Structure 1
Amino acid sequence: MFDIIVDYLSSISPAYAALIATTFTWFVTAVGAAFVFFFKKMNRPFLDTMMGFTGGVMIAASFWSLLAPAINMSEGESFVKVMPAAIGFLGGALFIFVLDKILPHVHINFKKTEGIKTPWQRTTLLVLAITMHNIPEGLAVGVLFGGAASGVPEASIAGAVILAIGIGLQNLPEGIAVAVPLRRMGMSRRKSFLMGQASALVEPVAGVLGAVAVSLFTPILPYALAFAAGAMIFVVIEEVVPESQQDGNTDMATMGFIGGFIIMMVLDVALG
């Protein structure tokens, strides 16, 4: 089945392949948001474990799927070889840092509003927070598809598919983490679901843009891969890990992180 998917995505344009893959990651978010039809409250230990899992997947994907290929495909030796990855990584982290300071949003625990002041409701701010975090995920998938289509050896369709699967796995708890709190605040199940799944709609957009950009400008590929990695790791360290540790379920969150890292590493190395 995996080989069939890879063969099919190899036969179509990178933008279309990225669209299909990131539509899958959006769909998994929607599945998570659909939990709102069955539950009104979150089981906090479960959510913290899954948030830890999300962090583990993102960290593993950042290295195995993005940073390592970015370094390997760069020309030169020593410092020269690693500079594109370093520059791209810093650029990705700064990009999310700036968004975090400008875009109004609120974290899952609803305890702190960040970004510029706005009269928007806290429910909208929660959706914006998750939406902001989904940008680098979609971008990472698209960049890999674009690189593979351009014939770069270090970027493969199989690797892009594995990355999409990993991101899809960690999008499940994100969908839950948006929709269920909205329901708990009194929003209808239908509207909670719609807003929960909408938080991932940015992924197909970012995925297509990433694939097109790399297809047109192949030399930016190592920078683009590292950019996505820097953005993802910033999200993990700035929010995902701290959020998973806030309610005292530190051991469960940590083991969730370990599990997510191992799963993503095994998938990437064994299949990618």
Structure 2
Amino acid sequence: MMDWVGQWTPVQQALLGTLFTWALTALGAAMVFFFKSINKTVLNGMLGFAAGVMIAASFWSLLAPGIAMAEELDQTAWLTAAVGFVAGGAFLFLVDKLLPHLHMGLARNQAEGIKTHWQRSVLLVLAITLHNIPEGLAVGVAFGAAAAGSASGATVASAVALAIGIGLQNFPEGAAVSVPLRREGFTRRKAFLFGQASGIVEPVAGVLGAFAVLTVRPILPYALAFAAGAMIYVVVEELIPEAQREEGGSKTDVATIGAMLGFTVMMVLDVALG
């Protein structure tokens, strides 16, 4: 499989990888054709799993290779990692404050970002789309790093592992968008279309990320740390709070267990394949 993927250019690899993650989002959204609601405890576990995957990917697939690559380029590795990481979080912070969006389970008047009269459904999809940006960027940058041909540990195999991990956690996210929309009165078809649409941004961000780091190689360590910072921001600002929102020990325990499982799965994927 790796030989076949290796025949593609890094930008093509990034596009292929992010189309895969988008496809998993669409597959998850297709659950709306079978279910009209998602048990809150199950949803907590899904969100926790997604958080665990993103935390593990941030270190093994992004930060660690970025630090090693910074050292190869004679940069001050800790400073490069810190600057890139903080910049990634700051970017998501600004987007979060500007882009109108609404988190699941909240009333329309609790929407964040610039005030608009957009429909609740659009705001719900934008909330998921917001955190798909760093996921797509991470996959694209990972394939770009693999093309650099350094000894940093960034390989096509590790980039593929990252795409698989992101795809796995995109499946429950797709369902977490489409099924609640169905419960709010949308037709199954319309709920599915909205659910899969939240993943469209990933191929765009992935291709842009791969192209950028291939064009200016010295920014690659910063880009890897940037993607890691953006993903951690999403985990702390959105996924964990949503997974822990419901009171009750058993429900939040499921989210915690989901996060542990997600972290383990992503760690195994990266170490075994990378």
- TM-score category of the 2 structures, normalised to the smaller one: over 0.9
Residue-by-residue CA offset, 1:87-106 (whole Å, 9 max, x unaligned): 00000000000010000000
Q: What residue number does 2:223 align with?
A: 224
Find the counterpart in structure 2 of residue 158 from structure 1: 157
Matched ranges for 1:114-133 at <5 A: 114-133=112-131
How much has 1:41 moved relative to structure 2? 1.0
**Aligned counterpart, 1:214:** 213
Match of 1:32 in 2: 28
CA distance in 2, matches of 1:188, 1:257: 32
1:148-179 deviations in Å (ceiling 9; x for gaps): 11223322100100000000010011101110
| In structure 1, C-alpha distance between the alignment counterparts of 2:189 and 2:91, rounded to whole Å | 33
Q: How does 1:40-79 map to 2 (within 5 A)?
A: 40-75=36-71
Q: By how many angstroms is 1:31 displaced?
A: 0.6
Q: What secondary structure is seen at the aligned counterpart in 1 of 2:116?
A: coil
Q: Is residue 76 of structure 2 the alignment partner of residue 80 of structure 1?
A: yes
1:106 to 102, 117, 128: 102
TM-score, with structure 2 as normaliser: 0.95
In structure 2, stretches of 5+ residues that fail to align are none
Q: Per-residue CA shift, 1:3-60, capped at 9, x if unaligned?
A: x2x2112111111111111000000000110010111111111110011000000000
Aligned to 2:266: 264
Alignment of 1:236-251 (within 5 A): 236-248=235-247, 249-251=251-253
Q: Is the 8 A contact 2:80 2:222 kept in 1?
A: yes
- The reply to whether residue 139 of structure 1 matches residue 141 of structure 2 is no
Counterpart of 1:162 in structure 2: which amino acid? Answer: A
Deviation at 1:74, TM superposition (A): 1.1
How much does 1:271 deviate? 1.3
Show structure 1 runs of 4+ deviating over 6 A: 76-79
- 3-state SS of 2:77 partner: helix
State the one-letter code of the partner of 1:186.
G
CA separation in 1, counterparts of 2:57 and 2:74? 24
Classify the secondary structure of the residue corresponding to 1:74. helix
Partner of residue 176, structure 1? 175
Which residue is 1:255 aligned to? 257
Query: What is the SS of the residue equivalent to 1:114?
Result: coil
TM-score between both structures, scaled by the size of structure 1: 0.96
Aligned length in residues: 268
2:73·2:218 contact (CA, 8 Å) conserved in 1?
Answer: no
Deviates more, 1:195-204 or 1:68-77: 68-77
CA contact (8 A) 2:136 2:203 kept: yes
Query: In structure 2, what is the Cα distance between the partners aligned to 1:8 and 1:131?
Result: 30
Structure 2 distance, partners of 1:24, 1:34, is: 15
Q: For structure 1, which runs of at least 5 residues remain unmatched after alignment?
A: none
Mean CA deviation greater in 150-159 or 46-55: 150-159
Structure 2 distance, partners of 1:81, 1:236, is 24
Identity of aligned residues (%): 62
Conserved 8 A contact 2:48-2:243? yes
